[in-house]
Structure 1
Amino acid sequence: MKDVYITRISKFLPNAPVGNDEMESILGQINGKPSRAKRVVLRNNGIKERYYAINSQGEITHTNAELTKEAITKLFDDSFTQNNMELLCCGTSSPDQLLPSHAVMVHGLLANKNLEVNSASGICCAGMSSLKFGFLSVKSENSNNAVCTGSERSSTRMMASMFNEEAESLSSLEDQPIIAFKKEFLRWMLSDGAGAMLLENKKNETGLSLKIDWMEAYSFAYELETCMYSGGEKQEDGSIKPWTEYSSKQWLEDSIFSVKQDVKILEEHVISKGVESLEMVFEKYSKDPSDIDYFLPHISSNYFAEKLKTGIKEKGLKIPESSWFTNLSSVGNVGSASIYLMLEELVHSGRLKKGDKILLSVPESGRFSYAYAHLTVC
């Protein structure tokens, strides 16, 4: 089987960075009142800037497919054009429509040639699932190259207008209506953007490449209930009642399509299962944690960073603290694109040297899934 290398990596972040004080002027105020949760959430997550596919006038500037296309286009030059692509893999948790799939919409915008496409759904792990499909295709010689992406356009789901019907409904029931924290929490967490990687069966002739040594993923859905969801409502028994079983009136009044997170379950399991899966992957590949030069953990909030470090230490996994690399504070939580954006920044930082070992770690709180990739700089 072929070795697989990441030979190019790119990103696209829309418009100007948005500071904490500017967020509500762009997303809007629910029920015309400042958020009560915003200050608490921002204090804990440590995010200083993020990007929205919405300009300062409140106009939507990009679809998710357009964000993805812009990132992909940056991979091309005279030596590798869009017509050299053999496989396109796109992962996202926020496609522009239910059907058709995200990847075919991106392919339509590229308008290059007939090729195989694959869409990976899910939440944060969707970007890693996209990468793994491309990795396995090139490794098995099904294709000579693959373009893999992770992208999100979450901002339009976070706009106040998406909650107006529910706020008005609550107003008729109580004097001071408050949108449930499980819904508002994520308004101050999520960001927009896209990342893209070119995978090939040979490394770059000049410059550095990243060899993908292995990829692994785990799901704990068999034992844990849903934590993060959209397009449904959680029931008392932990099951999810899907949007197809609600009336169109309820879609609006209950903000059925808003992104929600059960913060109690998140707090209870996201770190413990992350450390458990990390221990499993080190054991499977007989990997010495102290051998890692760069550890890139996708964390949704700095609130979990110290908890993760503590959990890792308690398990005796000696990942050097000096190896940690993240850009959460400057780009925000971009879901499935976050790991692409972190790796892109590291690659272009000039810090990497041949022989460096990189571990990518991506958790997903949907129903607690975790994905990993081990890379060697060559």
Structure 2
Amino acid sequence: MSLNEVYITNTSLFLPNEPVPNDDMELYLGYINGKPSKSKKIVLRNNGIKTRYYALEKGGKTTHTNAQMTAEAVRELFKDNPEKLKAIDLLSCGTSSPDQMMPSHGVMVHGWLPEAEAIEVVSPSGVCCAGMHAFKYAYLAVKSGDAVNAVAAGSERFSASLRANNFDEEAHKLEELNKNPYISFDKEFLRWMLSDGASAFHLTNKPNDEGLSLRIDWIEGVSYANEMETCMYMACEKQADGTIKSYLEFTPEEIMTKSILSIKQDIGLLSDNIVPLGGRKLKKIFEREGLTINDIDYFLPHMSSEFFRPKIYEIMSVFEDYIPYERWFVNLTTLGNVGAASAYFMVHELFKSGKLKKGEKLLVLVPESSRFSYMYALLTVC
């Protein structure tokens, strides 16, 4: 059976509301226990983010669900010809912040698209790699001929879980016990890192008749969970031996007073491992594909923080060469860390920038710290 070439023929982006500058973050997320954060300035100084987007009004009222934002991104793909939305035969949606545990995120997105037909819908779970898993599923479906017009999407709505009211019970409990009423850094750290939004790709087996397309040369992934313990986690608590205790094993009171449902990060484990492990698989892929650093015209690494920029640069030493910063394309500073959507955001902005020329190659790298997974993709402008 011959396999199809697969092309990204359009990309889209949906950002909720207006950009939120650093000084205004707590006007949206709130003050935990009524007190300004002690760690906010330190985290922001290191991550380099200047603005981000929240699906919230000031005061914390929700303006959009994750599913609604994703549906708007899908709709945006076909704004010039809305009838084409009826032709899609696969919807593949990745996120780490679904609005509910059940039904799946993908079918909720489909529910906000009444103009679409009855189609196959998939919802890969995970963290930052979830959007890339959705992308790969759509790619493989078109490549095999199982789908002709597929939509892949990545999205996040982290802001709902970052609001102060999710932590107030823990802070009050600490105060009652005459302890420091500030929540631990592993919980507060991510309040100043994460952003909301959605983005989507239209994938098909033919390039655009006019204008540019992106041919998908390959998408690959790897997990190191067999050798690494959990680093980023939610709805559970990490134990002293590195294992995870599920929220299902806590009492309702403990869930509130220990902020069990919050997103947490083992910062020490992250800093020591996230970058070195990312280079291991990439070197093997390059050797197999006969690629060198000089073949890459644009490098799109998903970074949670500008802190990792020089560290990612250094992992290129495994190739005995480096991708110079002038060939990097990153929009973390203006859009924030949008997890499963970040790779989509970078590809979208570059695709719409007018900078691309036929024959150029884009290397996408997405690390996921949850238990150290990575996704890689090579796209060629055509």
Normalised TM-score (structure 1): 0.98
Q: Indicate the residue corresponding to 2:324 in structure 1.
A: 320
Q: 1:57 Cα shift? A: 4.3
* More displaced stretch, 232-241 vs 69-78: 69-78
Q: Which residue of structure 2 lines up, in the alignment, with residue 258 of structure 1?
A: 262
- 2:166 touches 2:259 (CA, 8 Å); kept in 1? yes
Report the CA distance between 1:89 and its aligned residue.
0.1
Q: Partners in 2 of 1:284 and 1:317 — Cα distance? A: 17
Distance 2:22 2:50 in 1: 6
Matches within 5 A, 1:1-378: 1-76=3-78, 77-78=80-81, 81-111=84-114, 112-313=116-317, 315-378=319-382
Residue by residue, what CA displacement relative to the aligned partner does 1:113-139 show, whole Å, maximum 9, x if unpaired?
210000011000000000000000000
Give the secondary structure class of the aligned counterpart of 1:268: helix
| Runs of 4+, deviation exceeding 6 Å | none
State the identity %. 53
Q: In structure 1, the residue corresponding to 2:67 is in which secondary structure?
A: helix
User: 1:75, CA displacement in angstroms?
Assistant: 0.7
Indicate if the aligned counterparts of 2:128 and 2:341 stay in contact, CA closer than 8 A.
yes
Give the 3-state SS of the residue equivalent to 2:123 in structure 1. Answer: strand
Distance in 2, Cα, partners of 1:368 & 1:188: 21
Counterpart-to-counterpart distance in 2, 1:226 and 1:181: 17
Which letter maps to 2:333?
S
Secondary structure of 2:77's match? coil
Cα offset for 1:79? 7.2
The question of whether the paired residues in 2 share the 8 Å contact of 1:9 and 1:196 is answered with: yes
TM-superposed CA distance for 1:303, in Å, is 0.3
Deviates more, 1:278-287 or 1:138-147: 278-287
Answer whether contact 2:92 2:137 (CA < 8 A) is retained: yes
What do residues 191-220 of structure 1 show as CA deviations (whole Å, max 9, x unaligned)? Answer: 000000000000000000000001110100
Q: 3-state SS of the aligned residue for 2:270?
A: helix
TM-score of the pair, normalised by structure 2: 0.97
51-60 vs 212-221, greater mean Cα deviation:
51-60
Long gaps (5+) in structure 1: none
One-letter code aligned to 1:199 = L
Per the alignment, do residues 218 and 317 of structure 1 end up closer, same or farther by CA in structure 2, a change over 3 Å counting?
farther
Which amino acid is the alignment partner of residue 370 of structure 2?
A: G
Aligned-partner Cα distance in 1 for 2:289–2:170: 49
Give structure 2 stretches of 5+ with no counterpart.
Answer: none
1: distance between equivalents of 2:372 and 2:281?
Answer: 10
Structure 1 counterpart SS, 2:366: strand
CA contact (8 A) 2:314 2:322 kept: no
Following superposition, the deviation at residue 314 of structure 1 comes to 5.6
Q: Note the C-alpha offset of 1:284.
A: 2.6
> What amino acid sits opposite 1:86 in the alignment?
D
Across the aligned residues of Structure 1 and Structure 2, the Cα RMSD in angstroms comes to 1.1
The number of residue pairs the alignment matches comes to 378
Q: In structure 2, give the amino acid aligned to 1:296.
A: L
Kept after mapping to 2: 8 A contact 1:52/1:191: yes
Residues 293 and 319, structure 2, Cα contact 8 Å, conserved in 1: no
Question: Does the residue aligned with 1:106 lie in a helix, a strand or coil?
Answer: helix
Distance apart, 1:276 and its partner CA:
1.5
Structure-1 separation of matches of 2:349 and 2:23: 25
- Aligned-residue offset at 1:174: 2.2
Are the counterparts in 2 of residues 230 and 257 from structure 1 also a CA contact under 8 Å? yes
How far apart, in 2, do the equivalents of 1:74 and 1:25 lie? 30
